[in-house]
Structure 1
Amino acid sequence: MAKNGLVPYPSAFNTLLSSLVRSGSFDEAWRLFSDSRAKVGVVDERSLGIMVKGCCEAGRLDRGFEVFAQLKEMNWSPVAYVYTTLIDGYCKHGDVGRAGELFSEMSELGLVAKRNTYRVLIDGYLRKGMKEDGLELYRKMKVSGVVPSIHTCNLMINVLCKGGDVNGAFELFDEMGERGIAYSVVTFNTLIQGLCRDSRVWEAERLVDLMKRSGINPDVITYNTLIHGFCNCRKLDKAFTLFDQLKSNGHSPSLVTYNTLIAGSARAKNLPAVTDLVKEMEERGITPSKVTYTILIDAFARSDDMEKASDIYASMQKAGFIPDVHAYGVLVHGLCMNGNMKEALKLFKSMRDGCVEPNDVIYNTMIHGYCMEGSSYRALSLLTEMGKKGMVPNFGSYSRTIEVLCKDQKCEEAEDLLNAMVKLGLTPSVSLHNVIAKAKSGTS
């Protein structure tokens, strides 16, 4: 068409340009735009808006800003949606500072920020962990008379709940009702999660009644959250009641449901319940995950059945899962608490073969195990190794190691450890000082 000297109307050109951008053909859209923007009567304000959006979606913010600058040069006053597109683009690429500057520039130009503009910038702030900036912008939004979207309200409720301000989240929830903003299942699930995190599980369960009265049916996430909350509060019977409700209401339990109940049953040392849940899970065709195996290892280790725990560890590897530091940790802990330091050490050394570095928890567990065994040399060796790796042994590791060193009459090493504790800001107890004093005097 262009080769024949025919110039398309802006509407036809914009339709083609928009189609290319939507289909992900950014390079082709950019070539078409570049070839046409110098031609009179082809490119208009909408064309520039389409290209700004295309550039942002393609991650080419440099070109997006180039088009934006051209829009200004042509004395076309940038409309709010073009600013919103750029703000969204900068937020998605982590540059919320530049996004905030563009938002301020809108105000200086007399452009009114719409609901979507606020939404993308609030979302950008929260994704960056800038909670206070997000809350401040939300307050500014309300003062400006802009009614927030359900998405923005849910974001704010989530950030308030995670920050421990569940009551503040409920104030916002009430505001939503007053403004006529319809609740969603996400709204209720977020509040239920916040209440459960605060151990307010009975309030969380009552919220389900309000949820139903609002015409919203609880989903699997709702039940999983409540089950997790009651398991954490050691209300296992109630968790199983909710589990039955979940199934009777036509929902299929998920892997998360089973993992949560297995973990809760394991903490209660209810191994028959653990076994039944695993069997039911497999009957439903749900394959155990690495998390499931780790929970099971911990369950049997806590019940002093290290043979079964080791079998599950072997099954985990056979299933193709590479144990992570947590999986190693629960097995090492079980072996140490059962006094099997030989196998614990073997597993500890095998971690490096699996390219997993022991963390401070595992080191402290091993030290505690050696102290229980009375092996002061091995405990001291691991303490020294921790320091070389930049890890800080906990108070218990220092105290127990000092005690076993004193039993072995290694008073000089014990005093060195005591001084190391002080340098780290750990205050030794009076009894620990007394242990060393008695060892030095030969009265221990």
Structure 2
Amino acid sequence: MARNGLVPGPSAFNNLLSSLLRSGSLDEAWRLFSDSGGKVGIIDERSLGIMVKGCCEAGRLDRGFEVFARLKEMNWSPVAYVFTALIDGCCKRGDVERAGGLFSEMSRLGLVAKRNTYRVLLDGYLRKGMKGDGFELYRKMKLSGVVPTVQTCNLMMNVLCKGGDVNGAFEVFDEMRERGIAYGVVTFNILIRGLCRDSRVCEAERLVDLMKRSGINPDVITYNTLIHGFCICGKLDKAFSLFDQLKSNGHSPSLVTYNTLLAGFARAKNLPAVTDLVKEMEERGISPSKVTYTILIDAFTRSDDMQKASDVYSSMQKAGFVPDAHTYGVLVHGFCTKGNMKEASKLFKSMRDGHVEPNDVIYNMMIHGYCKEGSSYRALSLLTEMGEKGMVPNFGSYSRTIEVLCKDCKCEEAEDLLNAMVKSGLTPPVSLHDVISRAKSGTD
């Protein structure tokens, strides 16, 4: 247009910019904007605002701030939505301090923050773990008379529940109801999860009744959360009853549903129930995940059937799943408990060969296993290795290894290990000192 001597007005120019940005053509929009040269008559405040917002939404925060600086140079006052776009962009980058500075600048300019501005900054604070700043911003929002969105309220309730303040989350819920903020199944699921995490499963179940009275139907997530809560509390009959309710209400159980129930029955050593659930999964065409295989391995190790646990482990590998530290840990624990340190050692070695680093839990399992069979050298070797890797052995690993060393008349190594135990911040009991003294005197 410009080459033909036709100069578009701001309205046509802005429509073109918006169209390009909506279609994801940021580079083309940027060229068009740059070619305008910031000429008044072609662009206006809205043009700059459109570009700031478009750049931020496309993840080009640098360009957004470049346009923002140009806006100030032209003595045009940024509007609230421009600040909101920049605040949102900063929060998504994790730069919440800069986002907070922009929010303060809005206040100095006399711009009134809308609820979306509060929402994006609050989300930024809470995702960054800055709960104090988030709660203070939420308080300011209410004092300023801004009604929070349902997303903001859900975010607040979720953080409160995760922090163990379920009652505080219910206070936010009561405020929502008083203000007439529409809530849905997500809101209830957050509260139900919070109650279950707090072992208040009966209250969580009663909350489902309130859901239904409010015209909101529980979804699969609602049922999964409740089932998990009752499984953790050991109330497997109730968990299975909810599983039946889920199906009778027209929902299809998900992989998460089955994994939750399988883990519950595995902990209870109820292998028939585990087997039935696996069959039902297969009938529904739900393929097991790595988590499923690990749960099944755990089920068989708890029932002292290491052969079947090993078979499931092999099936897992054949299915293309790479075992992680948790999977190895379950198997290592099973073999160590059974006193089969030969197989436990093979697994421990295969972890390294598979580039899976053993964690401190697995090291402690292996140390306890070696101590149980009286292999003081192997136990001490792993304790030393833990220290070299910056891990701290637990109280039991130190104590048992010292006792086994003393039985092998390795008193000097036992004393060195006792000193290392003290340096790690653990206080050895008097009985452990006595064990070393008796070993040195030959009275054991």
TM range (shorter): over 0.9
Determine whether 1:389 maps to 2:389: yes
Residue matched to 1:372: 372
Query: Aligned partners of 2:96 and 2:216: how far apart in 1?
Result: 35
Counterpart for residue 338 of structure 1: 338
Rounded Cα–Cα distance in structure 2 between residues aligned with 1:130 and 1:426: 33
* 1:98-247 matches, cutoff 5 A: 98-247=98-247
Residue identity opposite 1:275 in structure 2: T
Q: Residue 435 of structure 1: CA displacement?
A: 1.6
Counterpart-to-counterpart distance in 1, 2:339 and 2:69: 71
- Corresponding letter in the other structure for 1:18: S
State whether residues 37 and 43 of structure 1, in contact with CA within 8 Å, keep that contact through their aligned partners in structure 2: no
1:228 deviation in Å? 0.5
Given residue 273 of structure 2, which amino acid in structure 1 is its aligned partner?
A
Counterpart in 1 of 2:22?
A: 22
> What residue in structure 2 maps to residue 287 of structure 1?
287
Specify the code of the residue in structure 2 equivalent to 1:225: T
Residue 272 of structure 2: aligned partner: 272
Q: 2: CA distance between counterparts of 1:68 and 1:40?
A: 16
2:321 match: secondary structure: coil
Q: Is the 1:325–1:358 Cα contact (8 Å) retained in structure 2?
A: yes
Asked whether the equivalents of residues 219 and 251 of structure 1 are also in contact (C-alpha less than 8 Å), the reply is: yes
Aligned-partner Cα distance in 2 for 1:103–1:66: 18
Whether 1:310 and 2:310 are equivalent positions in the alignment is yes
405-414 or 173-182: bigger deviation: 405-414
Kept in 2, the 8 Å contact 1:64–1:86? The answer is yes
1:125-148 deviations in Å (ceiling 9; x for gaps): 111111111111000000101000
1:33 is aligned to 2:23: no
Name 1:429's counterpart in structure 2.
429
Paired amino acid for 2:211? M
Deviations 1:396-439 (A, max 9, x none): 00011111111122211111111111111101112212222222
Distance 2:132 2:23 in 1: 38
Alignment deviations for residues 152-197 of structure 1 (CA, whole Å, 9 cap, x no partner): 0000000100111111111111111111111111111001111111
Q: Deviations over 1:301-341 (max 9, x none)?
A: 11110000000000000000000011011001101111110
Q: Which amino acid aligns with 1:142?
A: K
User: Which residue pairs with 2:357 in the alignment?
Assistant: 357
3-state DSSP class of the match of 1:216? coil
What amino acid does structure 2 have at the position aligned with 1:123?
A: D
Deviations for 1:359-414, whole angstroms, at most 9, x for unmatched residues? 11111000000111111111111111111111111000001111111112221111
CA distance, structure 2, for counterparts of residue 347 and residue 335 of structure 1:
10
How far off its partner does 1:443 sit? Answer: 2.2
Cα distance in 1 for partners of 2:291, 2:249 equals 27
1:74 CA drift (Å)? 2.1
Deviation at 1:2, TM superposition (A): 1.6
1:425 & 1:351 partners in 2: Cα distance? 29
Q: TM-score, normalised by structure 2?
A: 0.98
Measured in 2, the distance between the counterparts of 1:39 and 1:193 equals 55
Question: Given residue 44 of structure 2, which amino acid in structure 1 is its aligned partner?
Answer: D
- SS of the equivalent of 1:328 reads helix
The Cα shift of 1:58 comes to 2.3
Q: Does 1:8 align with 2:8?
A: yes
Q: Aligned-pair distance for 1:62?
A: 2.0
In the alignment, the residues of structure 1 paired with residue 2 and residue 338 of structure 2 have an alpha-carbon distance, to the nearest angstrom, of 82
- Name the structure 2 match of 1:399: 399
One-letter code aligned to 1:402: I
Contact kept, 8 Å, 2:57 with 2:85, in 1: the verdict is: no
Contact 2:56 2:64 (8 Å CA) reproduced? yes
Name the counterpart of 1:57.
Answer: 57
CA distance in 1, matches of 2:415, 2:194: 47
Distance 1:97 1:404 in 2: 55
Residue 55 of structure 1 contacts residue 61 of structure 1 at CA under 8 Å; is this kept in 2? yes
| Structure-2 separation of matches of 1:354 and 1:80 | 54
C-alpha separation between the residues in 2 aligned to 1:434 and 1:162?
Answer: 46
Equivalent position amino acid for 1:56 in 2? C
1:347 is matched with: 347
User: Deviation per CA, 1:227-278, whole angstroms, max 9, x where unpaired?
Assistant: 0011101111110010000000000000000000000000000000011111
Percent of aligned positions that are identical: 87
Q: How does 1:405-420 map to 2 (within 5 A)?
A: 405-420=405-420
- Secondary structure of 2:426's match? coil
> Which residue of structure 2 lines up, in the alignment, with residue 325 of structure 1?
325
Gaps of 5+ in 2: none
- Structure 1, unmatched stretches of 5+, are none
Q: Distance in 2 between matches of 1:38 and 1:267?
A: 68
Distance in 1 between the 2:67 and 2:38 partners?
13
Cα distance in 2 for partners of 1:145, 1:327 equals 52
